[in-house]
């Protein structure tokens, strides 16, 4: 069993930021990513809203740079399927059991992220990054004075549609229900917005195009009729799925995101949390990297306390 001071689970922006800060603090640090990496960052074609990074860079390239930076400072990055995480209260260490390896550590940072709930329709996967997006803040400016479709009817869908209406010439919202699920005040602003057209009781059945999105096929759920709508882009906001399968015992909010204090400490001592899997009001790359830095600092202080290295 290999021993580390800190194990970070997840190699997205939050995990890599934590790994960089931890390694620079002289903590032996292992970052465990899943066998098939799934950071949302790789879906961003042009990352243009990260402070200090301009002109825009490809999300995959940005992630690769973060990986190289963390490794340069000493972090080890490995891909494993984690089977179980348990704490040995007698030794005050965590044991991380993977399919082909076992590790122990004094502290853990959970940075497993959250995945966008998909429509699971034809064309969605093929045009992701080529007209299909899950982040208006990231990709909205690329559709200035163009027509876009927003799929969904909750708070996120309505707030993102309102944001896009300030950039695009027209926003078409498509929602399966007969009314929005969003907060009343937010929903009313969308309804009153002259640049937003709303199509209720309908679902997007497929996304079409050649090199990029050109149209969608929409089904009316009342009479099953189909219509094709021309569009330059499709923004999908039908919910997020926090990746918390390994941490069922941690306290979570009503949506399933892990609760922390301002130091990123979870309900279990020694386990910290950072990034999109954490309960918070705004999820962006910049907030994920900030979470990671804070979680790393807090984990370092916790480890110093375990090692009796805290001096008054």
Whole-prediction pTM: 0.78
Burial state string for 152-172 with b = 16 or more CB within 10 A and e = fewer than 16: bbbebbbbbbbbbbebbebbb
Whole-angstrom Cα distance, residue 229 to residue 218?
Answer: 7
Retrieve residue 138's tokens.
Answer: 């990231």
DSSP-derived 3-state class of residue 108: strand
Q: Which residues are catalytic?
A: 135, 138-139
243 closest CA partner among 127, 101, 114, 126: 114
Phi, psi of 232 (to 5 degrees): -95, -20
Q: Which domain holds residue 90?
A: 2-115+240-306
Residues 125 and 231 in one domain: yes
| Domain stop point among 236, 259, 274 | 236
Residues 246 and 107 in one domain: yes
Q: Assess contact for 236 and 151: CB atoms under 8 A.
A: yes
Residues 226 and 170 in one domain: yes
In a domain, 271, yes or no: yes
Please tell me the total count of domains within the chain: 2
Q: How confident is the model at residue 76 (pLDDT cuts 50, 70, 90)?
A: very high
Residue 310 above 70 pLDDT?
no
Q: How confident is the model at residue 43 (pLDDT cuts 50, 70, 90)?
A: low
Q: How confident is the model at residue 311 (pLDDT cuts 50, 70, 90)?
A: low
CATH number at residue 213: 3.50.50.60
235 closest CA partner among 103, 139, 101: 139
Q: Assess contact for 273 and 258: CB atoms under 8 A.
A: yes
Residues 58 and 100 in one domain: yes
Q: Assess contact for 151 and 231: CB atoms under 8 A.
A: no
In a domain, 152, yes or no: yes
In a domain, 311, yes or no: no
In a domain, 312, yes or no: no
Residue 312 above 60 pLDDT?
no
More confident residue, 21 or 47: 21
Retrieve residue 72's tokens.
Answer: 């340069």
242 closest CA partner among 200, 289, 287, 277: 277
Residues 203 and 131 in one domain: yes
């Amino acid at each position: 069993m290999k021993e580390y001071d800190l194990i970070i689970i997840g190699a997205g922006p939050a995990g890599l930021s934590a790994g960089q800060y931890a390694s620079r603090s002289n903590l032996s640090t292992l970052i465990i990513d899943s066998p098939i990496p799934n950071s949302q960052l790789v879906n961003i074609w042009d990352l243009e809203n990260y402070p200090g990074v301009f002109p825009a860079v490809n999300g995959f390239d940005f992630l690769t740079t973060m990986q190289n930076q963390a490794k340069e400072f000493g972090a080890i990055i490995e891909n494993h399927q984690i089977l179980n995480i348990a704490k040995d209260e007698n030794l005050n260490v965590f044991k991380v059991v993977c399919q082909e390896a076992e590790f122990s550590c004094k502290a853990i940072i959970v940075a497993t992220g959250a995945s966008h709930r998909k429509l699971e329709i034809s064309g969605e996967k093929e045009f992701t990054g080529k007209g299909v997006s899950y982040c208006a803040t990231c990709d909205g400016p690329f559709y200035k004075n163009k027509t876009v479709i927003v799929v969904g009817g909750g708070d996120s869908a309505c707030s993102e549609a309102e944001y896009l209406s300030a950039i695009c010439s027209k926003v078409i919202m498509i929602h399966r229900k007969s009314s929005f699920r969003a907060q009343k005040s937010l929903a009313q602003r969308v309804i009153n917005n002259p640049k937003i057209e709303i199509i209720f009781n309908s679902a997007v059945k497929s996304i079409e195009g050649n090199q990029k999105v050109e149209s969608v096929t929409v089904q009316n759920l009342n009479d099953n009729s189909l219509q094709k709508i021309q569009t330059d882009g499709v923004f999908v906001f039908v919910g997020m799925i926090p990746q918390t399968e390994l941490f069922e015992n941690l306290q979570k909010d009503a949506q399933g995101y892990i609760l922390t204090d301002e130091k990123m400490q979870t309900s279990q001592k020694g386990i910290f949390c950072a990034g999109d899997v954490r309960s918070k009001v705004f999820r962006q790359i910049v907030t994920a990297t900030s979470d990671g830095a804070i979680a790393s600092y807090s984990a370092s202080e916790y480890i110093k306390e375990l090692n009796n290295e805290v001096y008054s």
